[in-house]
Amino acid sequence: MFIQCHPERSAARHEAEGSSHFWMISDLIKGALVALFALCTLWPAQASAASELQKQMTRDMKKCGSTTEEVTCVVEGKDGWLFLQESLLNATKRWNDNTPQIIAFKDSLEARGIKLIVVPVPDKLLVVPEQYSDKAKKGIKLPQYKKWVDKLRKKNVTVIDALDKFKELHKTGSDTLMFEPYESHCTGPARLVLAKMAADSIAPLLYGMNRKRYPMRDTIVDGTGNLYDLLHGDEIDYKIKEQKVLGTDGYKYRGSKKAPIVIIGDSNVEQGKSYGAQIGAYIASLTSVETFSISKVGGGNIGPQMFKGKGSFLEGKKAVVWVFDGRELYGHFRNPEF
């Protein structure tokens, strides 16, 4: 249907025709014309803002050396906030369809009586776009992300979609920041959000199991600031508030290979491990059931191959929680191997 953005012509033509119903529907016409005029003026403005944001992301990726491939490079945002080049790549590049590999992984585990919970960690750029650029104040929406989630859920894959929750909580105050300026990984409060959502999905599998108490304690620790270090070649000294988990011995949580819940994935799995604040520890605390973590830095997309040659290890397991960076969703994932 073709719509002209010239409401005055439409009204003039209608008056000339002298329709007997004009006065009965004039209010409806006026309302429709006002809405149409708003759309005709709004759409170009939105398109222009999106175009300018796209240009800025392209410029920043070019500075890093590529607009089509991942480069280990830091992009500077506003007020000292730092981002990875791959975040911009994920927001601008056409996504590969990696859902068949994930579905095959789910089916393979399910055949062994194990549930898969997929946990894409919401990307920093999508959670705090206003810290990247004023052009992104209205947010960055990726329709392909929703399609990815919907496609997996239609095949009965459990996906933890925490993006909107992260956005909401980040805006509420300093105690619930999901990201901080100098770090690519999400914060302790963000890991706790993911752990709670995953624990809720696991809970029905744990009825009748022996429970142990893994208490949480507030602690202040050094921030890692991996993006600051990557950009400047130097560490930055700052503190962050985390909740650490204690094992049954009163020391930081560890977990054993006999645990019925296995956490796999990239460096997001181990973030906070040095003081018992990793996502696996949080899931153990929330479920009162032991967990064990397996990770490989930069290895989020190889999750389906982390049990290669380890068939006996999976005996007696109830759930596999696969945690990886959401900024990698554009890429290829490996086929499962056991």
Mean pLDDT for 283-288 is 98
pLDDT tens readout for residues 142-165: 999 999 999 999 999 999 999 999
Angle among Cα 253, 257, 263 to the nearest 5 degrees reads 70
Tally of CB atoms within 10 A around 127: 28
**Distance set, CA 184 to CA 9, 83, 180, 288 (Å):** 54, 7, 8, 29
Q: How confident is the model at residue 40 (pLDDT cuts 50, 70, 90)?
A: very low
pLDDT tens readout for residues 321-333: 999 999 999 999 9
Percent residues over pLDDT 70 in the chain:
86
Residue 98, pLDDT above cutoff 70: yes
Q: How confident is the model at residue 42 (pLDDT cuts 50, 70, 90)?
A: very low
Radius of gyration of the chain (CA): 25
**What pTM was estimated for this model as a whole?**
0.85
User: In the prediction, which pLDDT does 49 show?
Assistant: 62
CA 245 vs. chain centroid, Å, equals: 24
Residue 318, pLDDT above cutoff 90: yes
Give the separation between CA 185 and CA 265, rounded to whole angstroms.
Answer: 13
Give the separation between CA 119 and CA 158, rounded to whole angstroms.
Answer: 9
